[in-house]
Amino acid sequence: AVNDSEVTPFTVPSYACQRRSTLENHNAVLTDALSLLAENAELSDEDGRGVAFRRAAAVLKALPSAVTNMSQLTGLPCLGGHSLRVIKDILENGTSSEVESTKESERFKALKVLTGIFGVGSKTADRWIREGIHNLQQLRDSGQTLNRAQQAGLEHYDDIKQPVSLAEAEAIRGIVGRAVASVSPEAQIVLTGGFRRGKLTGHDVDFLITHPEEGSEVGLMPKLVSWLESRVSCHLQNVLLICDVIFLCAFQQERIKRCEIKLLALRCRITYSEQDETTASPSTTERRWRAVRVDLVVSPISQFAFALLGWTGSKLFERELRRWAGHEKGMSLSSHALYDNKQGRYIRASSEEEIFAHLGLEFIPPNERNA
């Protein structure tokens, strides 16, 4: 047994954007538990509590080794009483009774299933639960009016739930890239979100599109979506991808900010033709059709660096960057701009590195933003 006096407490800076968080996590049991409580709080519209659990989990993710003793946590930031009780419970008993009872609660299970439908948020799910709807079958039988997004979300529920692999993301990158090139040859496209941070799976595929000439990005999104809607098929290296847009939701055009966002799902059939090494003849692995969630963002080049930083995530890393900017630097950071509140002016930046420098932060590369 380790004597308390021999334990060296860990130290980490208090903002997640000051830390390097890789995908390696030595405290997954603890962070899974805290993340579940965060999710439950968020689904119950208790965002403050949700963030507190997310911050606590992020501190544990940043530790260089597994926590074995509560005294190692002395002086660490963002660990409130509630999070510490959960950690203590797990270190002492192997599980946390609060986490276990939350996981098993009918309400949590129903909220998870219902908000898993694209286009259904916690408010709608809560209303349905109060009307006795706890699962997809009860929803189908209830005669509730669903909007188009929700209907499609319900229809493709299993596909949308299934994680997207890196290979699928790259195949979709190929087809969206071809679509972009054909509607605007000079436009550029980058993969953002979790895949840019080095994750091997995701719940969707996120793309950011821009044009080197300011203003030439205007009108690109509708053309791009029409191209995708026209049910195209194309061969890209060893991948045949047939896609059409099966639903297009939550269209958001921020006119003033000159940035367009579309959340959609593509129906994809990805056929990998691999050279069979033993027989030297091509063998084909065909996948069935599936729906994949895709987020498309078009940004003017003047905002590109801010959009790239804002859409790479993680969500907590982004939140912490904005908190740092506001609380420590008197600045407002968004996916469009950085504003200096004291000087009353916008600060330009053409790369992520420049934004970190303006914020007085050491540059953290995407694969270390997995807070």
Q: Catalytic residue positions? A: 204, 206, 295
Helices (H), 5-155: 28-43, 47-61, 81-93, 97-104, 106-115, 122-130, 136-142, 148-155
Nearest CB to ligand TTP, comparing residues 87 and 324: 324
Alpha carbon distance 299, 214 (integer Å): 10
Residue 45 annotated as part of some ligand binding site? no
Helices (H), 287-314: 304-312
Going 257 to 258 to 264 to 269, the CA torsion angle's sign is negative
210 near ligand TTP, rule: CB under 6 A: no
Per CB under 5 A, which of residues 1..30 are in contact with Mn ion?
none
Residue 206 annotated as part of some ligand binding site? yes
Tokens 């299934």 — which residue? 162
Tokens standing for residue 330:
């008197």
Answer for which of 50, 153, 194, 366 binds ligand TTP (CB under 6 A) is 194
C-alpha distances in angstroms, 48 versus 54, 357, 370?
Answer: 10, 29, 21
Residue 204 annotated as part of some ligand binding site? yes
∠ CA(315), CA(22), CA(363), 5° rounding?
75
- To which H or E segment does residue 252 belong? strand 239-254
Nearest CB to Mn ion, comparing residues 12 and 37: 37
46 near Mn ion, rule: CB under 5 A: no
Tokens standing for residue 314:
């993680």
Per CB under 6 A, which of residues 328..347 are in contact with ligand TTP?
335
Answer for which of 119, 193, 300, 310 binds Mn ion (CB under 5 A) is 193
C-alpha distances in angstroms, 85 versus 43, 64, 98?
Answer: 22, 22, 10
At its nearest, how many Å lie between ligand TTP and the CB of residue 245? Answer: 18
| Stretch in the footprint of ligand TTP (CB under 6 A) among 12-20, 104-112, 199-207, 277-285 | 199-207
313 near ligand TTP, rule: CB under 6 A: yes
- To which H or E segment does residue 264 belong? strand 259-275
Nearest CB to ligand TTP, comparing residues 177 and 313: 313
At its nearest, how many Å lie between Mn ion and the CB of residue 194? Answer: 5
At its nearest, how many Å lie between Mn ion and the CB of residue 202? Answer: 5
315 near ligand TTP, rule: CB under 6 A: yes
At its nearest, how many Å lie between ligand TTP and the CB of residue 202? Answer: 3
Residues 321/17, Cβ–Cβ less than 8 Å:
yes
Q: Provide the mask over 238-277, with x wherever binding to Mn ion is found by CB under 5 A and - wherever it is not.
A: ----------------------------------------
318 near ligand TTP, rule: CB under 6 A: yes
Per CB under 6 A, which of residues 109..148 are in contact with ligand TTP?
none
Helix, coil or strand: residue 350: coil
Helix, coil or strand: residue 279: coil
Q: How many CB atoms lie within 10 A of CB 66?
A: 14
Alpha carbon distance 338, 295 (integer Å): 23
352 binds, among ligand TTP, Mn ion, none (CB under 5 to 8 A by kind): none
At its nearest, how many Å lie between ligand TTP and the CB of residue 163? Answer: 8
**CA 310 from chain center: how many Å?**
11
Q: Which residues bind ligand TTP (CB under 6 A)?
A: 193-194, 199, 202-204, 206, 295, 310-311, 313-315, 318, 335
- For binding to Mn ion (CB under 5 A), which residues are involved? 193-194, 202-204, 206, 295
Q: Provide the annotated binding site for Mg(2+).
A: 204, 206, 295
